[in-house]
Amino acid sequence: MAPVIRELQRRRGRIHLTVCATAQHRVLLDQVVDPFGIPIDFDLDVMVADQTLEGLTSRILDRMAGVLAKTQPDIVLVQGDTTTTFAVSLASFYHRIPVGHVEAGLRTGNPLTPFPEELNRRLTSQLARLHFAPTRWAQ
């Protein structure tokens, strides 16, 4: 998402950008935020010890509801195949906010492999209005 965020930052006069991180993958997030100059407006910090997928999903849904109500975006962009991607897409759908899925269309053909990422991709595809595929095959 870093190149997408940077391009949207460049268009600040025409686009109001808000960056929200769930920190589902805190170590990876911290490795790119500073080098790429990504401003985090909302850090939901959803990770807890010994969490379940159900707990993670519900925390993301609950915390995103507040962000969406406060910011009222015209569109929400999500990236990848994480539980964050699915849960943010679902929260946006509940708030009737269109979703754009970056890295859309990737499939293994088996909803359990990898788990839960493949199902996250499939569910996000049903919730997204815009699909940004990374390859011709994914398209």
- Residue 87 sits in a domain whose CATH number is 3.40.50.2000
Better pLDDT: 45 or 29: 45
Residues ≥6 apart with Cβ < 8 Å to 114: 108
Is 94 a domain residue? yes
Cα–Cα distance for residue pair 11/5, rounded to 1 Å: 10
Residue 3 lies in a domain: no
Our count of domains for the chain comes to 1
Q: What percent of the chain stands above pLDDT 90?
A: 86
Residue that wins the pLDDT comparison between 14 and 28: 14
Question: pTM for the full model?
Answer: 0.93
26: pLDDT strictly greater than 90: no
Grade residue 44 by pLDDT with cuts at 50, 70 and 90.
Answer: very high
In a domain, 5, yes or no: no
Rounded to whole angstroms, the Cα distance separating 107 from 94 reads: 25
CA–CA gap between residue 75 and residue 88 (Å, rounded): 12
The residue range of the domain holding 63 is: 18-132
